[in-house]
Amino acid sequence: MAIRDLRDWIERVDELGELTRIAGADPDVDVGGLTDLYQWDMGNPALLFDGMPGYRPGHRILSNVLTSLPRLALTLNLDVAHSKRAFVDALRNQLATLRPIPATVVDDGPVMANRQSGDAVDLTRFPAPRWHPRDGGQFLGTGDIVVMRDPDGGWVNAGTYRVQVQGPRTVTIYISAGKQGQLIQEKYWKRGEACPVVVCVGMDPLLLLQGGYEVEAGVSEFDTAGGIRGESVPVIHGPLTGLPFPASAELALEGEMPPGETLPEGPFGEWAGYYASGQRPAPVMHVKNVFFRDDPIILGCLPGKPPNDNTFFRSPMRGAVLWNDLERSGIPGITGAWSHEAGGGRLFNVISIRQMYPGHAKQVGMAAASARAGAYANRWVVVVDEDIDPTDSNEVIWALCTRTDVVRDIDVMRRAWSSILDPMAYQGDGPGWFNDRLIIDACRPYDRRATFPAVARVTAEEATDLRHRWPILFGPDGKALSEARSANRGS
Ligand SMILES: Cc1cc2nc3c(=O)[nH]c(=O)nc-3n(C[C@H](O)[C@H](O)[C@H](O)COP(=O)(O)O)c2cc1C
């Protein structure tokens, strides 16, 4: 049965044995620290905090959300794959054939159980952690979606952007230059109008997965989520803004961002692993209405030194979307893609190809460095042959070490799209931030393919033969001792 909201998700994850409940943790110190410790490794359970000092029992925080393959598969309505490589393949097939299902507008839902309006709005009642020790405040929104309507096209964007509590009725929203949310907000401001906005904190994590990656402009994340779920997402239209938010959301803030109004925001521990952007002005949202379920659950998704909750899911998502972007631009021969966890799921992208013509690898590298899913804040693009598993760091480094001519195969792209969050980005003459990036062809040289030395390892066929002839070592079906791994490595 489809997961319809965060409570369904928690129940299903509990059934999988992947949920730990914690009572009495302090949101100012413990919640962020414990989440950080848990999210260093893939496979640790999700954490559900309750009974936090200073907050009502029942007001909860869920964190370490998407850090296991079974939880990712559950959220994306996919089967659990036996390897990261197979998971990317399944995901990119899902996305390539996805038919968005439009959201359904309903009048009522669990999120309307409680309402604060006007002067009665009090955001301090909700547990908003100081996620990292040197954060400049409490961030209610990390695993959120920020909903806006494009004033020209009329389509609805839902992006995941951090939201800092600045007062009982005021928050700031940090959106990097060039993201859809920033472009939309700028359109209202250029007209001298306030930008209507809804921040949704706590919903089916599928919506976080949609809000947190580059769904193309003009397409609503509610509709792509419906397509993945296999049924329409019921939404309520906010009475003030007319903007949609899930009828079964945990907590929704409705308000507006007046033109030019900012407050100091940050510092915040960011996805690249630093407090890089420090404190600077960010747009203010005045919260006019708050809607929330009984005993609301804040959905936290903690950035920080990678790997972390963001990067474990970003790695396959970016791999899948990049793969599809390259194919959609007409480039043949793509066989895999991955964005390394340690690069925050952005900085280190690897694409594997079946080389088909001279210059093919260079074309893929250049395109990947500029494609929708690869353009922002990237640093390394590595193109490898199809016998290399892009999700396996050992294999990628081996290809870099043994198939790259360091004079001929490395290009530098200068003044590319970046942000202040990248500690190596540099400011242009105006307000913009740029970075430089490397594009590396780590494929066997195209003109030496026929004579390139053979790989000193059993081939996939030889491995299959050995496995079946040696059941004492590999079991009656020949599958013991990581068949998938050795099959991936056969060449
Ligand atoms: C947990 C999480 C937090 C994020 N925080 C921010 C943020 O504070 N500001 C930002 O610009 N992007 C942030 N991102 C990245 C954006 O969500 C991502 O680039 C997405 O594509 C933006 O949506 P858009 O393409 O509709 O602009 C975050 C992503 C995740 C998963």
- Same topology, domains 6-299 and 312-448? Answer is no
d(Cα 222, Cα 101) in Å, to the nearest integer?
A: 8
d(Cα 460, Cα 489) in Å, to the nearest integer?
A: 7
Q: Strand 104-105 to strand 234-237: parallel, antiparallel, or no bridges (unpaired)?
A: parallel
Q: Ligand 1 pocket check: which of 179, 180, 183, 302 to mutate, most ligand atoms within 8 Å of Cβ?
A: 179
- Atom 29 of ligand 1 has which residue's CA nearest to it? 212
Which tokens is 348 given? 């280190």
Q: How far is the CA of 160 from the centre of ligand 1 (A)?
A: 4
What pLDDT is attached to residue 263? 98
For residue 49 and ligand 1, the question of a CB distance below 6 A is answered with no
Q: What is the CATH number of domain 6-299?
A: 2.30.110.10
What pLDDT is attached to residue 491? 36
- Atom 30 of ligand 1 has which residue's CA nearest to it? 212
CATH class of 312-448: alpha beta
d(Cα 238, Cα 252) in Å, to the nearest integer?
A: 9
The single residue listed with the structure tokens 């500029």 is: 370
Q: How far is the CA of 251 from the centre of ligand 1 (A)?
A: 19
For residue 39 and ligand 1, the question of a CB distance below 6 A is answered with no
What pLDDT is attached to residue 487? 46
pLDDT digits (tens, 9 = 90+) for 126-171: 999 999 999 999 999 999 999 999 999 999 999 999 999 999 999 9
Q: What is the pTM of this model?
A: 0.95
What pLDDT is attached to residue 16? 96
What pLDDT is attached to residue 478? 86
What pLDDT is attached to residue 363? 98
Q: How far is the CA of 233 from the centre of ligand 1 (A)?
A: 21
Ranges of each domain in the chain: 6-299, 312-448, 460-489
For residue 174 and ligand 1, the question of a CB distance below 6 A is answered with yes
Residue 259: name the closest of 331, 187, 323 by CA.
187
Q: Closest ligand 1 atom to the C-alpha of 302?
A: 1
The CA angle 309-165-30, to the nearest 5 degrees, is: 50
Residues of the chain with pLDDT under 70: 482-491
Q: How far is the CA of 144 from the centre of ligand 1 (A)?
A: 9
d(Cα 334, Cα 328) in Å, to the nearest integer?
A: 11
What pLDDT is attached to residue 192? 98
What pLDDT is attached to residue 200? 98
Contact 283, 289 (CB under 8 A): no
Tell me, letter by letter, the H, E, C secondary structure of the chain: CCCCCHHHHHHHHHHCCCEEEEECCCCCCHHHHHHHHHCCCCCCCEEEEECCCCCCCCCEEEECCCCCHHHHHHHCCCCCCCCHHHHHHHHHHHHHCCCCCCCEECCCCHHHHEEEEHHHCCHHHCCCCCCCCCCCCCEEECCCEEEEECCCCCCEEEECCEEEEEECCEEEEECCCCCHHHHHHHHHHHCCCCEEEEEECCCCHHHHHHHCCCCCCCCCHHHHHHHHHCCCCEEEECCCCCCEEECCCCEEEEEEECCCCEEEECCCCCCCCCCCCCCEEEEEEEEEEEEECCCCEEECCCCCCCCCHHHHHHHHHHHHHHHHHHHHCCCCCEEEEEECHHHCCCCEEEEEECCCCCCHHHHHHHHHCCCCCCCCCCCEEEEEECCCCCCCHHHHHHHHHHHCCCCCCEEEEEEEECCCCCCCCEECCCCCEEEEEEEEECCCCHHHCCCCCCCCCCCHHHHHHHHHHCHHHHCCCCCCCCHHHHHHHCC
